[in-house]
Structure 1
Amino acid sequence: MANNLDSNVTTADALTLLLHNQHALAAAIEEVTKWLSENGGETVAENAVGAIETIDRNAEAISDAIMRLRLL
């Protein structure tokens, strides 16, 4: 039983780090999107917003998985 718990904690820790990276990437994309919008790149900015929306949706699923692992 302890090995399964250790495995869950390790997996949750790794997912947490990936989630932090995902948030950092989203923030960077938001900055680039803002710059593009202000400098005539509206179409590219719209595409970037779509990417951010995908990151946000996936971040929710990753967060849920982390919580389930930590509760086991």
Structure 2
Amino acid sequence: MPNQYVLPDMLEKIYENQLALEAALMELTLEVERQGAGVAGENVRGALHTIGENAGHIKQSLAKLRADSSYK
């Protein structure tokens, strides 16, 4: 039985979670800003920036691991 929990697969799930959280937070941010809470919106946008940057690092790490034949 192949190992279902190898590192690239785990990173892929973390990356998918990052994208889902980013999308959900953006929806909430837009609603909060529509209601006039600009400061809260700015704070969340700062967090979204960090989430986006980290998602990029996860994706790059995942690509490097997938290229490594020991994880195939």
The reply to whether TM is greater than 0.5 is yes
Which has a greater percent of helix?
1
Alignment correspondent of 1:28: 24
1:33-68 per-position Cα deviation (integer Å, ceiling 9, x unaligned): 000110011000000100110011001110010000
- TM-fit CA distance, 1:10: 1.2
Distance in 2 (alpha carbons) for counterparts of 1:52 and 1:34: 12
Alignment correspondent of 2:51: 55
Q: Detail structure 1 runs of 4+ shifted over 6 Å in the superposition.
A: none
Question: Which of these residues, 38, 42, 45, is aligned with residue 46 of structure 1?
Answer: 42
Alignment correspondent of 1:13: 9
